Amino acid sequence: MAYKPNLQRTWWLQHRFFRAYMLREATVLPLVFLLCSLLAGVYSLTSADAFIAWQGFMAKPWVIVIHTLALLASFYHALTFFQLFPRVMPIRLGDKSVPAVVMIAAQWSGTLTVIALFLWLFGGGL
């Protein structure tokens, strides 16, 4: 007879670690909306009327709120990923491991570099 654990639907509420894990996994929801919005924008490039309609949709306050949530969710996801990375994939140089704080700082500086490059390239109209 196989062992079947009895898990309730709220199992993840029992411990802080599980709640943080579920929140991290839920960050995909606003990101899916953002990606669908961007795909709709690419599709709307087929005609001027469709593009104007897409711009009107993107200007709606609730869409801006969801996209702001997507940005915050992305930063939370990056924060948790960067903290886990040194434990999951330690980097060794010779006999020594690269300290976790150095790995995390390098990941954040890469992220900030990409953001700065994006703002430099496309920020003129923002």
pLDDT, tens only, 69-124: 999 999 999 999 999 999 999 999 999 999 999 999 999 999 999 999 999 998 86
d(CA 100, CA 49): 51
The upper half-sphere exposure of residue 28, i.e. CA atoms within 13 Å in the direction of its Cβ, equals 4
Domains of the chain and any CATH numbers? 12-77 (1.20.1300.10), 90-126 (no CATH)
Tokens of 84: 């886990």
Could you tell me if 27 and 66 are in contact, meaning their C-beta atoms sit under 8 angstroms apart? Answer: no
pTM of the model: 0.75
Tokens of 78: 């990056």
The pLDDT, as a whole number, for residue 68 is 94
pLDDT greater than 80 at residue 1: no
92 φ, ψ (degrees, to nearest 5):
-110, 135
Tokens of 26: 């839920």
